[in-house]
Structure 1
Amino acid sequence: MKGVLLVNLGSPDSPTAKDVKPYLDEFLMDERVIDTPKWLRNIIVRGIILNTRPKKSAEAYSKIWWEEGSPLIVISERFQKKLQKATKMPVALGMRYGSMSIKSAIQELKQKGVDEILLVPLYPHYAMSSYETVVVKAMEVQAEHFPDMQLTTLPAFYKNPDYIKVLSDSISKGLEGFDYDHILFSYHGIPERHIRKSDPTKFHCQLNDKCCSTNSVAHHTCYRHQCLDTTALVKKELGLDPEKTSSSFQSRLGSDPWLQPFTDKEFERLAKDGKSNLVVITPAFVSDCLETLEEIAMEGQEQFEEAGGKAYKHIPCLNDNDDWVALMAKWVNTWEENESLPV
């Protein structure tokens, strides 16, 4: 029997330092998030970051926390429930980090008679610290605890034409009634070394526009290329003026080189360049979370307006958008019927 396993990032159980600390520990101790030797990661995370970050993060979470709980969890559950109604297969939801584990989600599917799973990482793009870590963790859990179950993974879907259409339609609706003079595509940032580590050729990725526009097998795992490709595809779908759009990267951590330009610096630059009315979208996420609701929708607006900007609008992620649910249902049902992956 076939089933679907949706996996998103995860969340602390509450917006308190007590619950944020173990969540951050699990997240930051992931070797695909902070990719240093374990002894050094221990010093960085448990000796430095966890002494101050939990309180600050808890304050940020408290700003965006909903009455029902973590926005990311609530949105993911809404999406899962809608998808369940659109397919005959059991659909379970797990998180890469936090108490809603991948193991418990697979156990839920097993109890329903599932022995063949379609793993759906809820990330459009491939990156070590998002898509890859979900796949590796799920494979480890399956091998250790569910050796008789089969696991198939949905590929990164950032350039799938149907996905681009759904994303573009959502953006188009968000633009209605707002007289913008610039649209900023803000993607989650990653260290530059992650790009090079993910390059199977070990020489193609030079972290410039030339390598990103030169066809290569490296693009299958190049986060930078995939993000810029998403921007280009949406611009083409919506017929956006190239002079009124740009891409940037947010949420950097530490002093190592990260993908640029940085979103917070772009807020300042755009305002000082005379862009008065700014729209920001966050296509690296399919579900709104701390990075979109607090960092972009709240802090971003403050940074833009302090730099001289006048009007600011953050367009929400796809979340449980009915068109997005219908597209995912189309993908999983196609897999159930003929085992082909349509993306």
Structure 2
Amino acid sequence: MHADEAREVTHALAGDIVAVSGLECNSGVTFTDGSSRLSLSSMYVPDPVVSLSVKVSKKEDQQRFAKALARFQREDPTFRMNVDGESKETLISGMGELHLQIYLERMAREYRLNVETGEPKVNYREMVTQKAMFDYTHKKQSGGAGQYGKIQGYFEPIKANGDEVDANSPVEFRNELVGNDIPPNYIPSIEKGFREAAKKGMLSGHPIINTRFVLQGGKSHDVDSSDIAFRLAAAGALREFYEEAAPIVLEPVMAVQVTVPAEFLAAGLGTISRRKGTITNTVRQGDTVLLEAEVPLKNMFGYITDLRSCTQGQGEFTMDFDRYQAMLSTDQEELRQAYQSQLQGGAAAA
């Protein structure tokens, strides 16, 4: 391949760009002639930062819908699909509002699907910022064998600065237990309970990252202790003592490039300011100006409409994921209250 020119070849050398048709494979796969078992290093694929609930309006379209989603995931490793465990909604996730809009348009154009969508959802993360000790007992008695598991220890941030944390930063479990106060066969259940609870943080319902859970002590009961009792004890310890570790919410920040005619420079700057963005650079390019900025993703929904309305349709922008950073405390409190209202609404419906 050279620009828009394509010609058939029988071999290719390093540096050549080659297109092969008819293959069903994922991005990043290494092809060989079968005589070697080499595998090239895979590309870095960032986690999606925005999600959207989707469904087809007609039941008979479900098969084509599933086929489209499977194809898009093969083609684009930054496009993800999963089913929410609680709401049972199908969620598509990607690197921004425009990214997902492109795939919605492809579903309509290539698969003739009428897809209904929900509100975009930002993929936040949570982490603790200081060490917190825990001493938690899970105890349940209701005739016959009960449930008993007592655990002690602490959790702490793996990296102290939230601005240096990657969205893929894992949670860790460390066993510093001395002796057999808790039988060794229960330790995997404690780790499992912690990891399961960390999938849904208490501030926003989003995954907890960059957190180390350290087990130092505890007690068991000859009759009432079990795998499930210690798994629930670990989940309860995280839930009960989470606030003492000063948790924060991390939000995705986008690197935004806005191009506007020079006479609309003030208007372009205003669109960034209204969305709580920070201008990092301004470059004059003839009759236009390039604005480089960092803006929280949650403030970028519907931005193109705002930009074009104040530049007489002449403004353009692109954005890419830059990093996760700590959310402003006021925004975090609003998010926490919204999540609590959601939980209470779900409980009332149940």
What's the TM-score once normalised by structure 1's chain length? 0.25
Q: Taking CA–CA contacts closer than 8 Å with sequence separation of 6 or more, which of the two structures ends up with the larger relative contact order? A: 1
Structure showing the higher strand proportion among its residues: 2
Structure showing the higher helix proportion among its residues: 1
Larger Rg: 2
